[in-house]
Amino acid sequence: MLIKIPRPWEIPEREATPEGVYLNRRQFLRAAGLGTAGAILGCGGNEADSRPAVPVEKTQGPGARLPNLYPARRSARYALDRPLTKESVAAMYNNFYEFSTDKEAVKRLVERFEIHPWQVEVTGLVARPKVYDLDDLVKKMPVEERLYRFRCVEAWAMAVPWTGFPFKALIDEVQPTSRATHIRLVSFYKPDQAPGIRSQSWYNWPYHEGLTVQEAMNELTMLIVGIYGHDLPRQHGAPIRLVTPWKYGYKSIKSVVQIEFVDGQPPTFWNEVAPDEYDFWSNVNPGVPHPRWSQASERMIDTGERRPTLLYNGYGDHVRHLYKS
């Protein structure tokens, strides 16, 4: 008899809980036990399922113009060890410093942020540099839905159904040269639409992040255009963002406009701000505390449940080979 021993992060997909019905602000605060914003750093099947209806922001993302984008096929490879976070809670608890350091204010302050049309420039050490219209790019990519854990460096967490495509698919499209070792990603710069850029002028805007090419080619690394079966709302990083689920959330840069292939490690936003606190790698590690708080456990934002933090956020089988010396 073949006996399968599940990995620590696996449960049957049927046990993944849908996001639930909409909660108003007071219900959300009472259920999640949340008060003011936390620490200084900003983080963030083939058939349709039977999720209850919730109000959906019309973001003018790719799904508005690509009628068959949702529901995307859900990958069975990526299961969860916890219920999905309620969509209404995830939509109201966002780190997006370009708009505000107040997590609960972001949803209101993104209303003027224009996300259509949207272009992504791929440049640098590639054989096929190109400026992509986002809709045209998505049409060419293998889009699917995946259930991922998301861990913020502030020690809160959620579980999210992302829709997007593997970064590797874009890499294959643009064909990096042999000199390319790293990828620099850059977010938008629109101070007239993003009040946090104006009010926090001491930061080195626009937001910028980086990965090695090997990290970007890993099967877990995704470029995301949707969440909970519809386009990304603005507060989640519309219309396209990065997700690297084994790293702290600030590595998953939002609202990407440029992807540059380079021959060395690029500077990254939070490493420039506080190099002793936020390194380039930023892999989830319960054994390495932040200088101002422990990383040994994490709080689920919708239930307040406290869980032990998993090394690499539970994705070690997929990524630990990237960091062997």
In whole angstroms, how large is the CA radius of gyration of the chain? 19
Strand ranges for 104-255 from DSSP E: 119-124, 130-133, 144-151, 156-166, 182-187, 208-212, 222-227, 230-231, 241-243
Chain mean position to CA 205: 19
| Domain ranges across the chain | 13-317
By the 8 A CB rule, do 216 and 135 touch?
Answer: no
CB burial string 287-318: b at 16+ within 10 A, e below: eeeeeeeebeebbbbbbeeeeebbbbbbbbeb
Q: 13-317 maps to which CATH number?
A: 3.90.420.10
What pLDDT was estimated at residue 58? 57
Half-sphere exposure of 147 toward its Cβ, with a 13 Å CA cutoff? 25
pLDDT at residue number 50: 36
- Strand, helix or coil for residue 12: coil
- SS3 of residue 46 by DSSP: coil
User: How many secondary structure helices (H) and strands (E) does the chain include?
Assistant: 9, 12
Tokens of 233: 């709302």
CB 309 within 8 Å of CB 300: no
Give the integer Cα–Cα distance in Å for 132 and 148. Answer: 27
Q: Output the pLDDT for position 60.
A: 75
Three-class secondary structure assignment of 176-195 = ECCCCCEEEEEECCCCCCCH
CA distance 175 to 105: 40
pLDDT in tens, the chain (325 residues): 444 444 444 444 444 544 443 334 334 333 444 333 333 344 543 333 334 444 555 567 999 999 999 999 999 999 999 999 999 999 999 999 999 999 999 999 999 999 999 999 999 999 999 999 999 999 999 999 999 999 999 999 999 999 999 999 999 999 999 999 999 999 999 999 999 999 999 999 999 999 999 999 999 999 999 999 999 999 999 999 999 999 999 999 999 999 999 999 999 999 999 999 999 999 999 999 999 999 999 999 999 999 999 999 999 999 999 998 6
